């Protein structure tokens, strides 16, 4: 018994008449009659009893009618679920997040994705860049948002945005009286660097900028995350270099931010990394949202 025979059977059993059932199915009556005869042979029992007005169900026919609509409904449901999953309308995205990107750009992108595809479940995991890369290779996450993705043969990355850099300092610091700062203004200033990771990142880029600008870098503290960094700035521990998303959103009391002008570090990128070859429809849908967001918004 196949799905076509089930649908034909339900039409005849509902209409109690082969002519009306054939019309409902948009087919000729003889092929419908043959299909029902084949079904009865397969089951080894008659399903209909002919009457002057049409047909009535036998006990076997009534038993079959109790089950077949449920089977057809489940089949249609499975078909629809598979279709929606294949189009990226359902599924689960395990997302790694870390750093200042979660303060602005990432929530906007995920909000757009959720609005367009509410049945895609989004699960966030706070992971450092090395932890994200490990989780991607082990397929524990679908994608990870972080800055400056490494050149890795197993990982692809899509640019999300580029952000200009700012210097954070206590509002009482003499440099806070200036509108903009250059790297030379940070000569021998007490600097707090982040993130303190076992691979190149913003910390390494800032250190390289100081070196290329021939400016003395005096590091007084290295921390893992932007919030700790800015909290130390608020406590007058030192200064920091951070993307604009932190300057716009981490407005701790006493902290002032000024734009940083440096030809060697004009901005810093935020990327979405994912396992090379992953063709998950939900992931592809998110990457399309990212591309559209970047095209429509440009730099953060």
Confidence of residue 85 (pLDDT cuts 50, 70, 90): confident
Q: Other CB atoms closer than 10 Å to residue 295's CB: what's the count?
A: 8
pLDDT at 87: 72
Question: Is pLDDT of 263 > 60?
Answer: yes
pLDDT at 300: 54
pLDDT at 80: 77
Tell me the average pLDDT across 41-69.
93
Tell me the average pLDDT across 198-219.
92
CATH 3.40.190.10 assigned to 91-160+269-297: yes
> What's the chain's average pLDDT?
92
Confidence of residue 89 (pLDDT cuts 50, 70, 90): confident
Q: In angstroms, rounded to a whole number, what is the distance separating the alpha carbons of residues 156 and 110?
A: 19
Reading the block at residue 1, the tokens are: 């018994």
Name beta bridge partners: 248. Answer: none
Burial class (CB in 10 A: 0-12, 13-18, 19+), 48: buried
- Residues near 70 by beta carbon (within 8 Å), at least 6 away in sequence: none
Question: Is pLDDT of 195 > 60?
Answer: yes
Q: In whole angstroms, what separates CA 43 from the centre of its chain? A: 49
Q: Other CB atoms closer than 10 Å to residue 254's CB: what's the count?
A: 12
Tell me the average pLDDT across 47-67.
93
Question: Is pLDDT of 43 > 60?
Answer: yes
pLDDT at 196: 83
Tell me the average pLDDT across 104-114.
94
Longest CA–CA separation in the chain, Å: 104
C-alpha distances in Å from residue 75, one per residue of 2, 55, 158: 11, 27, 38
What is the per-residue pLDDT across 121-171, written as a single tens digit (0 to 9) for each?
Answer: 999 999 999 999 999 999 999 999 998 888 889 999 999 999 999 999 999
Reading the block at residue 258, the tokens are: 């000024």
Question: Is pLDDT of 272 > 90?
Answer: yes
Virtual torsion, Cα 16, 19, 20, 21, nearest 10 deg: 70
Confidence of residue 256 (pLDDT cuts 50, 70, 90): very high
Confidence of residue 91 (pLDDT cuts 50, 70, 90): confident
Tell me the average pLDDT across 264-291.
94
Residues of the chain with CATH 1.10.10.10: 3-86
pLDDT at 299: 61
Share of the chain above pLDDT 90, in %: 80
Question: Is pLDDT of 101 > 60?
Answer: yes
pLDDT at 1: 82
Fold of domain 3-86: Arc Repressor Mutant, subunit A (1.10.10)
pLDDT at 102: 86
Which superfamily is assigned to 164-265 in CATH? Periplasmic binding protein-like II (3.40.190.10)
Own/partner pairs for 19-22, CB < 8 Å, 24+ apart? 19/54, 20/54
Residues of the chain with CATH 3.40.190.10: 91-160+269-297, 164-265
Lowest mean pLDDT among 71-80, 94-103, 184-193: 71-80
């Amino acid at each position: 018994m196949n799905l076509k025979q089930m649908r034909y059977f339900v039409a005849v059993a509902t209409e109690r008449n082969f002519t009306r059932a054939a019309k409902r199915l948009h087919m000729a009556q003889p092929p419908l009659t043959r299909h029902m005869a084949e079904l009865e042979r397969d089951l080894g029992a008659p399903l209909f009893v002919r009457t002057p007005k049409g047909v009535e169900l036998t006990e076997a026919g009534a038993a079959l009618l109790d089950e077949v609509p449920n089977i057809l409904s489940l089949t249609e449901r499975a078909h629809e679920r598979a279709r929606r999953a294949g189009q990226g309308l359902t599924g689960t995205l395990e997302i790694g997040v870390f750093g200042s990107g979660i303060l602005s750009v990432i929530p906007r992108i995920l909000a757009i994705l959720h609005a367009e595809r509410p049945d895609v479940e989004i699960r966030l995991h706070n992971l450092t860049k090395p932890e994200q890369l490990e989780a991607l290779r082990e397929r524990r996450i679908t994608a990870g948002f972080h800055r400056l993705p490494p050149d890795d043969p197993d990982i692809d990355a899509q640019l999300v945005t580029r952000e200009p850099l700012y210097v954070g300092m206590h509002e009482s610091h003499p440099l806070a009286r200036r509108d903009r700062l250059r790297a030379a203004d940070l000569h021998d200033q007490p600097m707090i660097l982040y993130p303190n990771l076992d691979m190149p990142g913003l910390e390494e880029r800032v250190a390289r900028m100081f070196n290329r600008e021939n400016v003395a870098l005096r590091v007084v503290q290295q921390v893992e995350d932007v919030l700790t960094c800015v909290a130390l700035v608020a406590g007058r521990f030192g200064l920091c270099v951070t993307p604009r998303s932190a300057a716009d959103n981490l407005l701790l009391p006493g902290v002032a931010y000024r734009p940083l002008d440096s030809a060697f570090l004009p901005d810093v990128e935020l990327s979405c990394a994912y396992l090379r070859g992953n063709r998950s429809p939900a992931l592809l849908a998110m990457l399309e949202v990212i591309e559209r967001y970047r095209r429509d918004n440009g730099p953060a």
